[in-house]
Structure 1
Amino acid sequence: MTTKPFTLIALPFMALAACSTAVIPAGEDVCGASALQDLVDQPADRLSSMRFVAPMRILRPDSAATTDNRPERINIAVDNRGIITGVTCG
């Protein structure tokens, strides 16, 4: 029976293929962060009156954050003074 050896050989490669993800070119502005750069150096309180069409998270210095990279998500970095220090995708 020849299907068993083929299955044993092919199974690891099929598993690796299932783990692959789409590659987004570096510098691609998928989430629209470039349009939000005017928020940098503004108080984070300003965010409460805004609506975002993309998923968004606020990253503070002592907050926990996942390390997954989601190009469609807006990351807004805020310092200890409550000032926005950066807006990126990921």
Structure 2
Amino acid sequence: MKKMILSLPLICFAFGCQAHTMTAKTPKVDETIDTTYPQNSCGADELKYLIGKPRTVLHTMKFRSEMRILEYDSIMDMMYSPTRLNIYINKKGFISQINCG
């Protein structure tokens, strides 16, 4: 009887030390939302001809989407907007790069 009483805590301890795994159930999704945009969603490809031109040509143009002009030493936020047009200006005042973002 004494052996049984002493072995009971050991048995309980052994069962208590077993690893318990809990699996989270993933909710079932009925439909998929497409969040991808076409590579040229802001129209940058149509404006590549502006690369190498002075920034002053931008003052005479109208743009179909949101845009920002980024000077060579300017600070820009890291908010990505696939429909926004980014126009980069180099130190000499010429357009050096055009892309979406």
Q: Give the TM-score normalised by structure 2.
A: 0.63
CA distance in 2, matches of 1:67, 1:89: 13
Q: Alignment identity in percent?
A: 34
Match of 1:53 among 51, 61, 64: 64
Runs of 4+ residues over 4 Å off in structure 1? none
Partner of 1:79: 90
CA distance in 2, matches of 1:34, 1:60: 20
Instruction: For 1:14-53, list aligned pairs within 5 A.
Output: 22-24=35-37, 28-53=39-64
Q: Give the TM-score normalised by structure 1.
A: 0.71
**Displacement of 1:23 after TM fit?**
3.6
Q: Indicate the structure (1 or 2) with the bigger Cα radius of gyration.
A: 2
Give 1 or 2: higher helix fraction.
1
**Displacement of 1:64 after TM fit?**
1.4
CA distance in 2, matches of 1:30, 1:61: 24
Higher relative contact order (CA 8 A, sep 6+): 1
| Partner secondary structure for residue 41 of structure 1 | coil
Match of 2:80 among 69, 72, 87: 69
Give aligned pairs, total: 71
In structure 1, the gaps of 5 or more residues are 1-8, 14-21
